A = this chain, B = another copy of it.
């Protein structure tokens, strides 16, 4: 199978996207995979598979590789006398800004390039945690209670301690803190507001059970990964998450009842259907008193959550063959024609 992995992006998660891409190179061996890197200036480069290692990017060696431009139907590579087009299905592996905020989705849609990844609506509803809450309310999916702060004012917080403070729009735990009492609040708010002008406050639920489930829809049917109970030292900080993005060994299934597994899958499907078609997402759930709460949607999970799938390659292959088709409006000029003829022109 032919697949183009698009990674990088002007995002705080730029580096973890590189790690994800390197991990997928290994996990998708046997596929005909190309790598397109989007650098922080939004220039595209075709990376030779043998050069897919961290130093190619950290030492700017990618700049010596062929530059590409995006165009209708694919990425164009120009040489002195000719140009060729890189076509085929793209896997959007740009984590965070650009990749998950709707930008890359729109870009690929506009240029009629088929892709695995969240469409623009799905991106907007999962990238900003406030909007994920709107979605949960509308679809009657339970999630953790929250408040939104738009400025660094203690007085506005009504949630009792301990609380968790998160920038509205970043993934990978960047800017996230647990706050046990008011003495820790200033620093936590400063860290969060450094990354976003909107900050979420949620109760921190001590010892909560956490479960991750990934999946996608193929021909109208959900394909689910195993359910994982992630190991955690309270929660993963950025450095630990960073290492997490290079995971490639399949994990053990969480030891949960069939009933809970069904509940998790039902919640996942409720979120996915009508919104996330075309993407492989990971949902992180909390279970409190037997009740399932959505914690977070990862529309482009680290290394595509390969470690949760028994047959990751087949999952990607079937998803690539079941991508939503774009229904571009057919343009007509009937009103202009009828007005012109009424005017006798």
Contact = CB atoms under 8 A, between A and B. Distances in A.
A187 interface: no
Contacts of A120: 101-103, 106, 120, 124
Interface string A328-345: 111111111101100001
Interface string A93-115: 00011100111111101111000
Nearest to A59: B333
A291 interface: no
Interface stretch (A40-48, A201-209, A224-232, A255-263): A40-48
A39 B103 CA distance: 21
Interface residues of A, number: 63
Interface stretch (A23-31, A130-138, A278-286): A130-138
Given A58-B340, A110-B98, A121-B124, A15 B103 contact: no
A14 interface: yes
Interface in A294-336: 328-336
Contact of A58 (B106, B125, B274, B333): B333
Interface in A52-106: 54-55, 57-58, 69, 71-72, 96-98, 101-106
Contact of A54 (B43, B137, B274, B339): B339
Contact of A329 (B14, B110, B128, B335): B14
Interface of A: 10-12, 14-16, 18, 39-43, 54-55, 57-58, 69, 71-72, 96-98, 101-107, 109-112, 120-121, 124-125, 128, 130-131, 133-135, 137-138, 150, 198, 239, 242, 274, 328-337, 339-340, 345
